[in-house]
Amino acid sequence: MTDELATGADDAYMKSTFYEQLVEHVFISEVLQEAWYCYGKTVEVLRSEVDASGYDVVLECNEVLRHVQLKTSRRESKTARQKVNIALAAKPSGCIVWIVRSEDTESCRASLSYLFFGGASGTPLPSLDGFKVATHTKGNAEGVKKERAAIRVIPKAKFTPIATTRELVAILFGLSKRASPSDINCPESDECESEV
């Protein structure tokens, strides 16, 4: 990496990458909070270094393992479809969580709602048979946009709207019973001290 100033394109890319990571961290924070403070459950989070298998994060909670492909768009976005790698269908309880975000400059926070494509907790991704095969965005030397055999295009209409993170956590992990306050409050003891 050099110390030279980034070009406009580089700067936009860096901001895009930063923003993508920001939204992912906000999402994970919301999931962890809802699982713990509402249901008294912990969530293990594993992040994929390479997106070759169709997922970004692995979440485990309530003995349910979810391989999750994350997508994101602004609430006012006209995005009408998402692309998914068919490898996601081979994972246990694979799913797509489309994060719909809105930013509030007054509170300096993002609020999230969701679109969900997946099965019930513990069940695989619904069949991708019948969905359109994606094509490359750019044509080859002859101008032909070749098919991307491992990628399917899923229309927005096939996603289920989920209004809150609490509802999403319940769907992801099959949770329904709220935890009692004694299950989620950490007693005043050295066991609850941490080195954050």
pTM of the model: 0.84
> Does any domain span residue 1?
no
* More confident call, 52 vs 66: 66
Share of residues in the chain with pLDDT > 70 (%): 87
Digit-coded pLDDT (tens) for 114-163: 999 999 999 999 999 999 999 887 777 777 788 899 999 999 999 999 99
CA distance 126 to 122: 12
Band (61; pLDDT cuts 50, 70, 90):
very high
> Does any domain span residue 194?
no
Which structural domain range is residue 64 located in? 8-179
Name the one residue in this structure whose structure tokens are 């349910």.
64
| Contact yes or no for 175/35 (Cβ under 8 A) | yes
Residue 95 is part of a domain; what is its CATH number?
3.40.1350.10
Q: Which residues of 78-91 are buried (b: 16+ CB within 10 A; e: fewer)?
A: eeebbbbbbbbbeb
**Considering its fold, how many domains does the chain have in total?**
1
Band (4; pLDDT cuts 50, 70, 90):
very low
SS3 146: coil
Nearest alpha-carbon partner for 150 in 81, 84, 75, 82: 84
